[in-house]
Chains A and B, each alone.
Chain A
């Protein structure tokens, strides 16, 4: 699946993950530090992912 990391705008392909929690673990991202977005929906950790999905991982951490 195609994954876009924001705000960096980094794009990568990730294979072999079936759930959001697997994707976050693969990318070493802690749950609760990003919004996991598919289209117009947010996904919870247990949501199933498909190889054809386009996922945005949007950081929620601000450093002001």
Chain B
């Protein structure tokens, strides 16, 4: 198989693009595709200070690599989730990537404040991914504010977006559909916009980029992802993509262009920005934001547990 662009032997075939590329041409293709997504969606500009949320996986490290290579001002932010050896290895990958490329990285460890994901799950019985999502949103927003960033970039790729879209449609999650966009505008002055520069690049492409750029990423999957619905949606979409290449890209892109608008609430009905969380000072609709509510729930349940196992006091 020959490279579509230069006719040298190809190293990767992209059926969705009816193309094959050698290493140099694939890297050119990938970087240009990300650059076009950034420009087309007006995600950020050269003077922006970008918080790149890095997990240690292929997507977020590939994104950080592209943005740093293109000369954007980036700060990596890694939230250490405290999920045993998996989290330890994830953190190490982020730290070694930052060190190798001379990039700024900020790390926050949940275990340091007794909020490691397994502890939260054990205390509250909440699904791990639900708790993880709440916590990540809080810390990403807080880190952007603290580190003076204008925008948060995440490594969500085309497959993530397609699977999420399928899940949202299957359950008619209209509020989520309204907010499923490559650029999510802030709803409060303490928040910054969130962007997904990889939303049209498949995870096969990000994995290929990471491999070709010799990025040392965590290949293993989060142990809590076992049985996650998103994996089922991805498996279905992979079958559709196999019989009809380009299905995922069409699904996501056409939703953004033609479908998304139908779910947007009129400006007059949009929720207001709410007040301030009594716990952390970040925006909240109630007394506490969802993160501080979760933290309070953990504290309460752990206190109850401690009390129930303490020896009875006799007078």
Contact = CB atoms under 8 A, between A and B. Distances in A.
B238 interface: yes
A18 interface: no
B238 A60 contact: no
B87 interface: no
A6 B219 contact: yes
Nearest to B235: A61
Contact of B20 (A44, A59, A63, A64): A44
27 contacts: A6-B219, A7-B219, A7-B221, A30-B239, A30-B242, A32-B202, A32-B242, A33-B204, A33-B238, A35-B211, A37-B211, A41-B11, A42-B11, A44-B1, A44-B11, A45-B1, A47-B1, A58-B211, A59-B219, A60-B58, A60-B207, A61-B234, A62-B221, A63-B225, A63-B228, A63-B234, A64-B160
Given A63-B225, A64-B160, A58 B219 contact: yes
Nearest to B202: A32
A19 to B, nearest CB: 11
A44 B208 CA distance: 12
Interface in A12-51: 30-33, 35, 37, 41-47
A63 B222 contact: yes
B290 to A, nearest CB: 19
What 10 A-B pairs have minimum CB-CB distances, sorted nearest first?
A63-B225, A60-B207, A7-B220, A63-B231, A44-B13, A7-B219, A63-B228, A42-B11, A44-B1, A60-B203
Interface string B209-226: 001100000011110010
A62 B13 contact: no
B33 to A, nearest CB: 16
Interface residues of A, number: 22
B12 A61 contact: no
Contacts of A32: 15, 202, 204, 238, 241-242
A30 B231 contact: no
Interface in B46-67: 55, 57-59
B199 to A, nearest CB: 14
Interface string A1-12: 000001100000
Contacts of A58: 207, 211, 219
A35 to B, nearest CB: 6
B211 A64 contact: no
B203 A64 contact: no
A5 B1 CA distance: 24
Contacts of A6: 219
B141 interface: no
A56 B59 CA distance: 20
A30 B202 CA distance: 14
A45 B1 CA distance: 9
Contacts of B221: 7, 62-63
Contacts of A7: 219-221
Interface in B1-21: 1, 10-13, 15, 20
Nearest to A60: B207
A61 B203 CA distance: 7
B161 interface: no
B90 to A, nearest CB: 11
Contacts of B241: 32
B124 interface: no
